[in-house]
Every structure is written in C-alpha cells, then in structure tokens.
Amino acid sequence: MDQRATGAERPLPHDFAIVIVGAGFAGLEVAKELGRAGIGVTVLDRQNHHLFQPLLYQVATAGLSAADIAEPVRKVLRGHESVQVLLGEVAGIDAAARRVQLADGASLRYDVLVLAAGAVDSHFGHDEWKPHLLGLKSLADAQAIRSRVLLAFEQAERSPDAAEQQRLMTIAIVGGGPTGVELAGSLAELCRHTLADDFRAIAPEHARIMLIEAGPRLLAGFSQEASRYAEKRLRTLGVEVLTDTAVEDVRDGEIRIAGRSVAVGHTLWAAGVAASPLAAMPGAETDRAGRVLVDETLAVPGLPGVYALGDLAHCPGPDGKPLPGLAQVAKQQGRHLGRGLVRHIRDGAPLEPFRYRGRGNTAIVGRNAAVFEQGGFRIRGWFAWFSWVVIHVYLLVGFQNRIRVSVQWLWRYLTYERGARLVTEEDRLPARGTAAAEPAKTGPHF
C-alpha cells in the first residue's frame, strides 16, 4: 500500500486481500466502488441482508414489513464479480498479523481492512435496564416491538382489570431525537386510527404514549422552531411529551421518572448509541462513545491499512465535532474511501481528505407533518413530509422495494390501514412480560 506506481497502472499481487466488515451504507459503497474497478474484495457481515435503518420504526409500528426495508447483500453486489460476500461473525482482530478472527474458528487475512460495523444501543452505564427495554437497531428489534405492542392490546382486550388494561396500553419511549419522535408519532397514529375500531373491550385511541427526553427540548440537532413544531404536532396526536425528564430506573412493567413510578406495558429505547464492540478489537484509540478515532482520510492512526467509517468512526466535521450517525454521512464516506482506494491501489495516488457535504436533516412527526433543515433553509409541514417520503423511497436499496413501499404508503395515506400487523405463534410464546419478551441480543451487525 505504501509503494508508488511505476506506470499508468500497476497489477495487484494475486494474494492482495481487502476485507470490509459490515454491509451497511458505508460498507456497501466501498464494495461497489472497488467492484466497479474489478478489484477483489471480501464483504463480511453477520446478517445476509442490508438494512435500511431509517425506516426501522415503520416496521416496529406495522407500517411496513421486514422485507420492505431489507435487501440480500449478495443480490446488491452480485453485479460485481470481484466482490465476494461471506456470512460470519467477527470474534477478534489481530492487527499485528493482519487477520480477522471469526467466531467459527476461521480467519481472514487482510492487506486493507475497512471497519463499517455500525452502532448499538447505549444505556448510559445502566446495563441492568437492558432486559426490560426494547431497542430499535435491527429487524429483530423492530419485529419485537411490533409484536409486543400488538400483543399488549390483545392482552388488554382480555383483561377484566381496568388498571391492568391501562398499564398494557401505556408505552414509554425514551429519547427525543429523530428516532423517538418518529416512533412516537407513528405509534400514536397506529393507536388512534388503525386500531381504534378493531377492539370491543378497550379503546386503543386512549392509549397513553409517553415520549421522555432528558434534555430541554426534542430534536436537539434541529432549530428551536423545529423542536417546538414537533412537540406541538405530537401533543396534537395525543403524545405525552416530557422534556427535562431523566429516567431513573427501568423494571419489568415499570419506569421511574422524576421521582415517581409509572406502570407501563413496554419501554422503548431511542436515547443513545455507542459504536459496535468491534471498534475496540484492533486496539485502536476510541472516544467515550467507543468510536474509532480516524484521520482526515478515514485511516486509523497507528494501524496501517485499517480504515473506519460510518457510525463506528469518530470523524471530525468542519466544526471539530464528530459527524453525526446518519445514512448520508456513511454513504459519502464509503463512496469517498472506495474511490480513493481504487486510485491508491491502481496508481499509488495518496488518499484525499474526506469532506462531508450535508444534505440537510429531516424528521417526520406524523401524517402530513415533518421538519427539514439545511443551513438557513428550513421547511415544516406537508411539503417537508412529502420531501421526506420522496427522499426515503429514493434511498431504499432495490427497485422492487421502492415500488412496494410507495404503494403501501399511498394506501396507508388514503385509508390509515397498516397491513403488517400479523402476530405469529412464535411471537406469542414468550409474551408474558417485557423482560421475557425481549429477544436475546447477539451483538451488532458485523
């Protein structure tokens, strides 16, 4: 990698190995750029699908099915013959030997290693809360939320106790960022419109949905005007918005806030993230959130041939603060690094600094309501909502997914119906309480 070209293009050694860990937005973009150039690369992920995480909350609230926002990694990359996809879980990284150790005992040698394994939920040092929470980082998480919420209404319908009915129909969402806001708005619409006429003994439209934020306002990364707009819209939907309210304890069927306990059916976590545990494996320097510190070229200092990007990397922006964990950041980093590696490998050109070009922040707050901001350009309401729809359909991987999601959203807009409300026998078996219902977490997607 440190050699310089002696001609217009230099051939690669037959044993030159590039390994990408993670098939998210960043990892896929690197693989595509290398694949277009015909450079051999191995993509490793512990799941066989690429997940469009910005729409996970729609699966969690029965708006979309899992297949609508996921695409097989092999299908995405099958047009690039030099790209190999492997299903496997990383157990360790030996940076000195340049090998990636897999959980099944196998290992992969690398000359270039790209770490793009994403992030996991952070509970701010309260790991004891984890069994009583439902996070939203994977398809399994989203399907668990959908099943547990729907089952809670089914249990409430059968319960003769009014207090127990109210508890089951109380949902606490922790975290007032875009994920928490979007989740709260979608759940409120599910309860007040889709489920309202489906039950006889309970009134789903009277479900209590609490959005709890420790900071002074919702959507802290947006303007004050956007925060006020989001809070007003959520309150119109019946969401109970609690700001300046820290969570003190979470237990099975209970959450403690502001010195009082609230009986809840489920507590959903959208409050914070930390880098994948994979970030610490190669011995790189990390920040307080566990993200790998990288230089301006996305290289990891002190580890030759190792790069980190996406949610796993601490990459400073123009203001010196780390870039946010957004899909657009990961995609731009992946495309930049992929193209840079092609030039570097083929002709020895040095890697260029990464410069992020923000395309704005957006969050949906319910039907016909959203906020979009890019610098001084700010819009709210229906036009922002429609722009959000168009952008997210465009960003979906797979033409058939775009068509399917567009049709489902149009039908839902016209009828308020949500078709992904099936609860299987497998979903029903563990549903005896939040702690029992929580599926075992097996780590991040890498």
Same domain, 288 and 433: no
Q: Where are the alpha helices (DSSP H) in 237-357?
A: 327-347
The pLDDT confidence band at residue 340, using thresholds 50, 70 and 90, is very high
Is residue 358, in this structure, part of any structural domain at all? no
Same domain, 372 and 400: yes
The pLDDT confidence band at residue 433, using thresholds 50, 70 and 90, is very low
Region 414-441: mean pLDDT is 55
Same domain, 340 and 422: no
CA–CA distance, 371 with 220 (Å, rounded to integer): 13
Same domain, 140 and 202: yes
Question: Of 285, 315, 347, which marks where a domain is finished?
Answer: 347
Mean pLDDT across the chain: 88
Q: Which helix (H) or strand (E) holds 308?
A: strand 306-308
- pTM of full prediction above 0.95: no
pLDDT digits (tens, 9 = 90+) for 168-205: 999 999 999 999 999 999 999 999 998 998 999 999 99
Strand partners of residue 369:
366
Same domain, 232 and 277: no
Q: Which of 182, 189, 231, 373 is catalytic?
A: 182
Residue of 294 and 121 predicted with greater confidence: 294
Is residue 11, in this structure, part of any structural domain at all? no
Residue of 425 and 404 predicted with greater confidence: 404
Is residue 139, in this structure, part of any structural domain at all? yes
Long-range contacts of 376-382 (CB under 8 A, 24+ apart): 378/223, 378/225, 378/226, 380/225, 380/226, 380/229
Q: How many domains does the chain have?
A: 2
pLDDT digits (tens, 9 = 90+) for 77-119: 999 999 999 999 999 999 999 999 999 999 999 999 999 999 8
Q: What CATH number does residue 137 fall under? A: 3.50.50.100
Which structural domain, as residue segments, surrounds residue 112?
Answer: 18-46+88-121+273-347
CA–CA distance, 334 with 77 (Å, rounded to integer): 15
pLDDT digits (tens, 9 = 90+) for 310-330: 999 999 988 888 998 888 999
Q: Is the pLDDT of residue 244 over 60?
A: yes
Same domain, 243 and 388: yes
Interior/surface letters 100-138, b for 16+ CB within 10 angstroms, e for the rest: bbbeeeeebebbbbbbbbbbbbbbeeeeebebbbbbbbb
Same domain, 92 and 173: no
Same domain, 116 and 236: no
The pLDDT confidence band at residue 130, using thresholds 50, 70 and 90, is very high
Is 205 catalytic? The answer is: no
Helix pair 224-236, 178-189: axis angle to 10 deg: 20
Is residue 332, in this structure, part of any structural domain at all? yes
Same domain, 160 and 181: yes
Q: Is the pLDDT of residue 444 over 50?
A: no
Same domain, 176 and 259: yes
Is residue 12, in this structure, part of any structural domain at all? no
Neighbouring residues of 20: CB distance < 8 A, sequence distance ≥ 6: 27, 30, 31, 41, 42, 43, 44, 114, 116
Is residue 401, in this structure, part of any structural domain at all? yes
The pLDDT confidence band at residue 427, using thresholds 50, 70 and 90, is low
Structure tokens at 446: 């890498």
Is residue 67, in this structure, part of any structural domain at all? no
Residue of 173 and 368 predicted with greater confidence: 173
Same domain, 238 and 146: yes
Q: Is the pLDDT of residue 441 over 50?
A: no
Is residue 72, in this structure, part of any structural domain at all? no
Q: How far from the centroid of its chain's Cα atoms is residue 41's Cα?
A: 25
> What is the pLDDT at residue 429?
52
> What is the pLDDT at residue 394?
72
Region 383-393: mean pLDDT is 83
Q: Is the pLDDT of residue 366 over 90?
A: no
Same domain, 285 and 338: yes
pLDDT digits (tens, 9 = 90+) for 1-55: 443 333 345 556 557 899 999 999 999 999 999 999 999 999 999 999 999 888 8
Question: Of 314, 347, 380, which marks where a domain is finished?
Answer: 347
